[in-house]
Amino acid sequence: MWALLGLCTLAACGNSTAFSKDRALPIEKGEIVATYPHDPDSFSQGLVVEGNTLYESTGLFGSSSLRVVDLETGKVQKIIRLNDQYFGEGLVKSGDRLIQITWKNREAFVFDAATLEYKSTIRYAGEGWGLAQMGKELVMSDGSSVLKVLDPETFRTIRKISVRADGRAVGDLNELEMVGDELWANVWHRDVILRIDPNTGEGLGWVDLSHLLPANRRPHREAVLNGIAYDAASGKLFVTGKNWPQLFEIRVPSLPKPVANRLEK
C-alpha cells in the first residue's frame, strides 16, 4: 500500500527483516535463478504468470493499470488504465477472466483475459490488498492478519483465516499466491515472504529476499518487495517489487517439485 500518513522507521515499527534467534519457523534464502526486465514505473500490486506471459496489476491513484507483459523482455503488450479515483491492487486469472481488486474503492473489475475487455464489476466490503486463486475460491488480504476466503462470482465471504507465525498474529499481509498446497504472502515493508498453511493459517516458514534489490537501489521508501507469481505447470516462481527495475525468478530449496494445486480437487 501507499502510505498516506507519516510512517515510523522500520526499526521503530518492529518490521526489520532481521529475525530473532529464537524463532521456531525455518528461514530460507531465495536463490536467484534468472533476472528479467521490469518496468520501473510499475507500482506492482498483483502478478500472475502463464508461460511467457505476465499479467500485472499496478497501483497508485491516477496511475493504476492492468497489463499484459512479455516475461522475457518486460515489454507491455496490452494495458488498461483505471480511472484516476481507483487504486489497483491484487490480481487473479480465473479461467478466461482476470479479476483485479482495488484498495479502498471496494470494487473488483472483471476483464477478458485474452482481450482485456471490461466485463463487470463486483462490490465487496472492506479494503482489498492481495488476491489469490485457492481451488475454486478466492482468498483476499486487507492488510490485517485475517484473510477472507471468497466466492469468486459474488465476493461473498465464505470463511476467514487467521494467520499466525511463531506464536503471533502476522499483520500487514499483502500480495498473495498459491504455491502448490501453500499460500504465500508478502508482508508490507518487509523483505520476506511468509509460507502459510491455508487450512489452519499457521506459518510454515519464511523466505528471505532481502538480497534481491538493496535499499540504495530503490527509488523511494515505498519501493518495497511486493508481487509473487507461480507457474504450476513449470514450477517457476517469480517475485518483484513496487517500482523495481527487475523481476526475479527464484528457487527455494525446500519447495516441492511442480504440482497442480491440489486444493482444486
The whole-number pLDDT of residue 257 equals 63
138: helix, strand or coil: strand
Task: Tell me the C-alpha distance between 114 and 108, whole Å.
Answer: 18
Going from the C-alpha of 44 to that of each of 22, 190, 239, the distances in angstroms are 33, 15, 10
Enter the pTM of the model. Answer: 0.86
Lowest mean pLDDT among 1-15, 48-62, 223-237, 251-265: 1-15
CA separation (Å) from 169 to 46, 166, 196, 236? 23, 8, 12, 29
Mean pLDDT of 192-215: 94
So where are the chain's domains? 35-113+134-256
The pLDDT tens digits for 104-154 are 999 999 999 999 999 999 999 999 999 999 999 999 999 999 999 999 999
Q: Which CATH superfamily is domain 35-113+134-256 in?
A: TolB, C-terminal domain (2.120.10.30)
Contacts of 189 (CB under 8 A, 6+ apart): 10, 13, 15, 172, 224
Task: Find, among 69, 66, 85, the residue nearest to 77 by Cα.
Answer: 69
DSSP-assigned beta bridge partners for residue 239: 228, 248
pLDDT per residue as tens digits for the range 18-45: 444 446 899 999 999 999 999 999 999 9
Dihedral angle sign, alpha carbons of residues 133, 137, 140, 144: negative
Are the C-beta atoms of residues 91 and 104 closer than 8 Å to each other? Answer: no
